[in-house]
Amino acid sequence: MGTSVEAAFAAGGELFRPSEDVSWSAPDAGADQLRSFARQFLACVGEGPWRVLWCAGAGTVSTSSRVLDLEREALRALLEVLAECSHPDQGVLFFASSAGGVYAGVDAPPYDESSPLRPLTEYGRVKIDSEELVASWSERVGTPALIGRIANIYGPGQNINKSQGLISQICRSHLLGTPLSIYVPLDTLRDYLYAPDCAELIVDGMARLHHECTSSGPKVVTKILASQRAITVGAVLGEIRRVFKNPTHIVVAASAAPAAQARDLSLRSLVWPELDRRSLTPFPVGIARTSADLLRRLQGADL
């Protein structure tokens, strides 16, 4: 999603881009890098308005608690530097959370912003901890924050090496002619959101938050970012088969992993519903664009 967010914000003005990737696996180096990036960024914006978006991290539901803890501490380090800003009321922060991570154990779909939080994995627990970290920071320093609980993201630029992203994984399998194992039942329901559509939602959400907080004071807003149309894994396979016009090599395998996966993760948003009144990219179009991007990267030996 980071690539789509960068593109969306770059289209509307200058974008600060760190000079190097963050060392997520190093206990101290990653946090030090983020502190340095934050100070560089604040020096660039001076006394003007600023926006910071946390769409970072390499964690998934299968990531070890150690790595996830490092990512949370890196977020804490960034927030510490932003708290030093001389004009916090001129800024807006966005934090990318995971709807699937925080709602997985609730078992009462469809989920909205008022649903209880019940993670099934360490990934979900760390997302909740990070949400609380952002919220308490926002209230303390006076910077408005938007927490986006995001559905299953797919689209161009997705990191295919993270072992997540069903649509990207299936497209890659098809292009390489290799089988792909799926470890959840085919009637598993998920909400798939095209990454550029999600980025546009984030842009508009941050603009609204900044506008509202200029008159009513700082606050934290939590919103689900989703297509709000869940489909089964079987339906996904059917759509991909239609786009490619031939069968994909899929193996439905048994695994203990589904114990950490909810059968139905249908989502709806009750917060700022007018933001969701927009045309989203049709699912077949999103699949075709994702596949085309993967093909370009395969030809360039990026994958």
CA angle 193, 186, 96 (to 5 degrees): 25
Chain mean position to CA 48: 27
Whether the CB-CB separation of 145 and 135 falls below 8 Å is answered with yes
The mean pLDDT of 77-102, rounded to a whole number, is 88
- The separation between CA 287 and the C-alpha centre of its own chain, rounded to angstroms, equals 18
Binning pLDDT at 50, 70 and 90, where does residue 257 land? low
Average pLDDT over residues 101-110: 94
On the question of pLDDT at 132 being above 60, the answer is yes
Q: Is the pLDDT of residue 249 over 70?
A: yes
Cis peptide before 110 (omega within 30 of 0): yes
112 falls in which pLDDT band (50, 70, 90)? very high
What fold does the segment set 2-299 form as a domain? Rossmann fold (3.40.50)
Residue 96 in this model has a pLDDT that exceeds 60: yes
Quick check: 85 and 35 in contact, CB under 8 A? no
State the pLDDT at residue 62: 67
Instruction: Please report, for the chain, how many H helices and E strands are present, in that order.
Output: 9, 9
Res 259: pLDDT = 61
Checking if the pLDDT of 282 tops 90, the result is: yes
Phi, psi angles (nearest 5°) of residue 52 = -125, 130
Place of tokens 């941050």: 206
Beta-strand relationship, 230-232 and 189-194: antiparallel
Token pair, residue 10, equals: 């770059």
Residues 261-276 have pLDDT tens digits of 789 999 999 999 999 9
pLDDT in tens, 154-173: 999 887 776 668 999 999 99
pLDDT, mean over the chain: 87
Q: What is the pTM of this model?
A: 0.92
Start-end of H helices in 46-194: 65-83, 99-103, 122-141, 166-176
Nearest alpha-carbon partner for 2 in 158, 113, 192: 158
- Range of weakest confidence among 66-75, 102-111, 130-139, 294-303: 294-303
Determine the 3-state secondary structure of 224 from DSSP: strand
Peptide bond into 185 cis (omega under 30): no
In the chain, pLDDT over 90 holds for what percent of residues?
A: 52
Neighbour-count burial of 121, counting CB atoms closer than 10 A to its CB (0-12 exposed, 13-18 middle, 19+ buried): buried
| pLDDT in the model for residue 231 | 97
What is the percent of the chain with per-residue pLDDT over 70, rounded to a whole number?
89
Say whether pLDDT at 291 is over 90. Answer: yes
